[in-house]
A and B are shown apart, each in its own frame.
Chain A
Amino acid sequence: MPQLQPGDFAPQLIWLAIIFTLFYIALSRLALPRIAKVLADRKTKLGGDLSAAREAQASADQEAQRYETELANAKAKGNGTIRSAREKLEAELGEKRRVLETELAAKAAETETKVKAVLEKASGQMEAMTADVVSDIVKELAGIDVTENEVRDALRQRSKE
């Protein structure tokens, strides 16, 4: 076995020690810190990106909430406007109706008084005619001469009883 030549041990060990030490220094000082830095950079970048995304989402949520409240406000405002418009309209209508009603009532009252006057007038004429007719009938039948006023009093007394 060539591996067990004792004469080869010294150069093998010496060069192994030299090369392994240099290799260790090259890796631990040069290569590994570079890779570690790349990995750490990626980690912080990813972490930063993630937190930025989270922030963006939070602000988007806030914006959405603001939009909702504004929409609700606008709706409430619109409803208020509609209600006030309706109330105003109703008030105007009520006013007009009241005016119309009073006018109508006044006209009705006037007409009524006119009718009443005509009726009174008619009933007065009828009374006079009746009294005249009654005095004529009494004169013809009983031969008693009565005045129209006496007949009228008698009739009034009758109608009272």
Chain B
Amino acid sequence: MIDWFISAAHAATEEGGQHGGGGFDPMHQFVINRYTPIELFGYDASFTNASLWMVIATTLVTAFLVFSTAGAKLVPGRLQSLGEISYEFVANMVRQNAGTSGMPYFPIIFTLFMFILSLNLLGMIPIPGLGQFTVTSHIIVTFALAAFVFLGVTLIGIFKHGFGFLKLFVPSGVPIALLPLISVIEVISYFTRPISLSVRLFANMMAGHTMLAVFGSFVVGLGVNVGLAAGGVPLIFMVLLMGLEILIAFLQAYVFAVLSCIYLSDSLHAGSH
């Protein structure tokens, strides 16, 4: 898997060199900048713009959730209400998709959901001096999260059911003749889970932000070269796309969390499949 990424990355860097030359590059927003070069056990552990945005997002979420319960009231105010809604939203998601036996894993699902949601949303907001950066538009980040979910869920399944976990690949009620084929398909679909999970989030985020950058370049290009009014047309589109992107930011965080819950449910209830 990692080899595939590395070879693909090599191919991308070879042709990517030509983009930086002159003019506008919509992919420039995804470039990693090293703020503080750090080396740890021979590995490059530099503090980058991605790291900073992750720190900002997680700090904001933690502060929001802690302050929302500071001086908690029986009848919640706006902030407290928002915190409780996010809690109950994820709690209901886990309960509905993984059952009450999935509730011990609620904190990690909540963390995943809030992490992805905050990074998606924060990627929509440019900060003066920092510019704008979406951590979840990096495949290595989304793949690491998806691989973490995949490994965690698989280990939970093995610890819960032992060899019985393999029943997951043998659905009940399937004719014997079809079983070898079905099992192979099930195994393949199981192992492609982390790829589909990570690529879905990464592709959505990257496509949205690239599109916004392209439309932004249209606004400036037409506004400067043709006239201010001409720049207004793509600007209207951009405003609408921003709305769509905010929706996608929520949707993709939700999809990631729901699929994690479903995978967790598969592991918890592998025997009764």
Q: Which of A13, A24, A41 contacts B111 (CB 8 A)?
A: A24
CB pair B62 A32 closer than 8 Å:
no
CB pair A12 B65 closer than 8 Å:
no
CB pair A23 B144 closer than 8 Å:
no
Contact mask for chain A residues 54-69; partner B; CB cutoff 8 A; 1 contact, 0 none: 0000000000000000
- Which residues of A sit under 8 angstroms from B58, Cβ to Cβ? 19-20, 22-23, 26
- Which residues of B sit under 8 angstroms from A20, Cβ to Cβ? 54, 58, 111, 115, 145
- Which residues of A sit under 8 angstroms from B88, Cβ to Cβ? 39
Q: Once the chains are docked, how many angstroms separate the CA of A10 from the CA of B10? A: 15
B218 within 8 A of A: no
Given contacts A4-B5, A4-B9, A23-B61, is CB(A45)–CB(B74) below 8 Å? yes
Q: Once the chains are docked, how many angstroms separate the CA of A32 from the CA of B55? A: 19
Q: Once the chains are docked, how many angstroms separate the CA of A38 from the CA of B111? A: 19
- Which residues of B sit under 8 angstroms from A27, Cβ to Cβ? 61-62, 65, 107, 110-111, 114
B80: nearest chain-A partner, CB-CB: A38
Q: Once the chains are docked, how many angstroms separate the CA of A42 from the CA of B87? A: 14
A35 within 8 A of B: yes
Q: Once the chains are docked, how many angstroms separate the CA of A15 from the CA of B52? A: 9
B32: nearest chain-A partner, CB-CB: A8
A1 within 8 A of B: yes
- Which residues of A sit under 8 angstroms from B13, Cβ to Cβ? 4-5
A23: nearest chain-B partner, CB-CB: B58
CB pair A35 B31 closer than 8 Å:
no
CB pair B30 A2 closer than 8 Å:
yes
Given contacts A6-B9, A20-B115, is CB(A32)–CB(B140) below 8 Å? no
B13: nearest chain-A partner, CB-CB: A5
Q: Which of A14, A16, A32 contacts B40 (CB 8 A)?
A: A14
A34 within 8 A of B: yes
Q: Once the chains are docked, how many angstroms separate the CA of A5 from the CA of B74? A: 51
Given contacts A12-B50, A27-B62, is CB(A35)–CB(B34) below 8 Å? no
B69 within 8 A of A: yes
A3 within 8 A of B: yes
Q: Which of B6, B51, B65, B72 contacts A15 (CB 8 A)?
A: B51
- Which residues of A sit under 8 angstroms from B107, Cβ to Cβ? 24, 27-28, 32
Q: Once the chains are docked, how many angstroms separate the CA of A53 from the CA of B155? A: 49
Count, chain B residues at interface, CB 8 A: 57
A30 within 8 A of B: yes
CB pair B111 A11 closer than 8 Å:
no
Binding-face segment, B41-49, B180-188, B237-245: B41-49
Q: Once the chains are docked, how many angstroms separate the CA of A5 from the CA of B20? A: 14
Question: Least Cβ distance of B114 to chain A in Å?
Answer: 7
Choose among A2, A10, A26, A41 the residue with the greatest number of B CB atoms under 10 Å from its CB.
Answer: A2
B5: nearest chain-A partner, CB-CB: A4
CB pair A7 B110 closer than 8 Å:
no
Q: For residues 228 through 246 of chain B, which have their beta carbon under 8 Å from a beta carbon of chain A?
A: none
- Which residues of B sit under 8 angstroms from A141, Cβ to Cβ? none
Question: Least Cβ distance of B168 to chain A in Å?
Answer: 26
CB pair B62 A30 closer than 8 Å:
yes
Q: Which of B47, B55, B87 contacts A35 (CB 8 A)?
A: B87
B148: nearest chain-A partner, CB-CB: A20
Give A contacts to B, CB under 8 Å.
Answer: 1-17, 19-20, 22-24, 26-28, 30-32, 34-39, 41-42, 45
Give B contacts to A, CB under 8 Å.
Answer: 5-6, 8-10, 12-13, 16, 27-28, 30-32, 34, 38, 40, 43-48, 50-51, 54-55, 58, 61-62, 65-66, 68-69, 72, 74, 76, 80, 83-84, 87-88, 106-108, 110-111, 114-115, 137-141, 144-145, 202, 206
Ordered by A's residue number, 24 sampled pairs between the chains whose C-beta atoms are within 8 Å are A4-B5, A4-B13, A4-B139, A5-B13, A6-B5, A10-B44, A10-B45, A11-B38, A11-B45, A12-B48, A12-B50, A12-B141, A20-B54, A23-B114, A24-B107, A24-B111, A27-B111, A27-B114, A34-B66, A34-B72, A35-B65, A35-B68, A37-B69, A38-B69
